[in-house]
Amino acid sequence: MRDRPVRALPARQPLRLPRGCGLRLRPGRGPAAGTRTVNAASDADTLPKLAVWKFASCDGCQLSLLDCEDDLLTVAGRVHIALFPEATRAVSEGPYQLSLVEGSITTEHDRQRIQEIRAQSEFLVTIGACATAGGIQALKNFADVDEFIRQVYAHPEYISSLADSTAIADHVPVDFELRGCPINKHQLLEVISAYLGRRRPLVSPEAVCLECKRAGTVCVMVAHGTPCLGPITHAGCGALCPRYDRGCFGCYGPKDLPNPASLAGWLGSELGVRSDELRRLLRNFNANADAFRQESLRHDPD
């Protein structure tokens, strides 16, 4: 979890969900022009409403939900998928029992829209590095965003962007943050099941190193002298990169109590990693995560 506080899950009785209801996406009216919405009374009206929202992102975390395949159909039998642009044009109006939010806040419109989403969501869970830490686009936070815009766009005067790319939790209260670039689909299913059942998700806060040990993967730092963020990175990827003799790039962001200064010191003294290399290593998918950002700033040139 991030080192900023997130809302505590209130103590409630377990939610009894109907079984075998199936996925119901029916036409009607709603808030989005050109979409199909639900307006007829049906069994779906009695089910908890699940909404999936997108901000600045690549859609990879939404695709992880679709990648759940048969497991997603099981979930769909217990909820009404009220809004999921990656999967369907059908839209059902809120309020929503559970909102999954992908992407970072990068424009003023984003900043206003997330307030509206929070207001109509009982539980709000952010999914992926963009939503939990600002994503790869948060690299602009360390430079002059106006200069980036001038370099990329032929008519920069038409581009409106905030100076920083920030996490959802920087703007509204968040009930849970699911890390990853992209997220782990099994962890996602656990989070959905947990909130529909009114319990706290069981997602381990351990480091990638423990995944390496359980898999019998040789430590790339010890065996090959390869810089690796595994000791300070949240588990969830199955230690994918170390399995192929690559160092961890920190896709899942900092674990609880990561101590990046200690790792940076060891990488410098034992592997000869320079400050500029450490800075680049930390400024990746989770560059704006608090622990990574603060440590990378220590290695900025004077």
Q: Is the peptide bond before 27 cis (omega within 30 degrees of 0)?
A: no
Q: Using 50, 70 and 90 to split pLDDT, how confident is the model at 68?
A: confident
Which among 10, 17, 9, 8 is positioned nearest to 197, based on CA atoms? 17
| pTM of the predicted structure, to 2 decimals | 0.83
Which of 40-49, 198-207, 254-263 bottoms out in mean pLDDT, i.e. has the lowest?
40-49
Instruction: Measure the CA–CA gap between 9 and 267, rounded to whole angstroms.
Output: 39
Which of 30-44, 52-66, 146-160, 182-196 bottoms out in mean pLDDT, i.e. has the lowest?
30-44
For the chain, percent of residues with pLDDT exceeding 70: 85
Most distant CA atoms of the chain, gap in Å: 67
Q: What share of the chain is helix, strand, coil (3-state, %, to 5)?
A: 40, 15, 50
More confident site: 107 or 78: 107
Q: Which residues are registered as beta bridge partners of 49?
A: 80
Residue extent(s) of CATH 3.40.50.700 domains in the chain: 36-196
Q: Using 50, 70 and 90 to split pLDDT, how confident is the model at 43?
A: low
- Position 282 scores a pLDDT of 97
Q: pLDDT tens, 267-299?
A: 999 999 999 999 999 999 999 999 999 999 999
Instruction: Give burial (CB, 10 Å; 0-12/13-18/19+) of 20.
Output: exposed
Q: Using 50, 70 and 90 to split pLDDT, how confident is the model at 41?
A: very low
Flag whether pLDDT at 19 surpasses 80: no
**Which CATH entry fits the domain spanning 36-196: 3.40.50.700, 3.40.50.1010, 3.40.250.10, 3.40.50.300?**
3.40.50.700
**CB half-sphere exposure, 256, CA atoms < 13 A:** 7
Instruction: Measure the CA–CA gap between 124 and 179, rounded to whole angstroms.
Output: 14
Residue 211 to residues 154, 206, 233, 241: CA-CA distances in angstroms? 46, 9, 11, 11
Residue 197 to residues 15, 88, 101, 190, 229: CA-CA distances in angstroms? 5, 25, 19, 10, 34
Task: Find out whether 165 and 56 touch, Cβ atoms under 8 Å.
Answer: yes
Q: Using 50, 70 and 90 to split pLDDT, how confident is the model at 77?
A: confident
Flag whether pLDDT at 12 surpasses 50: no
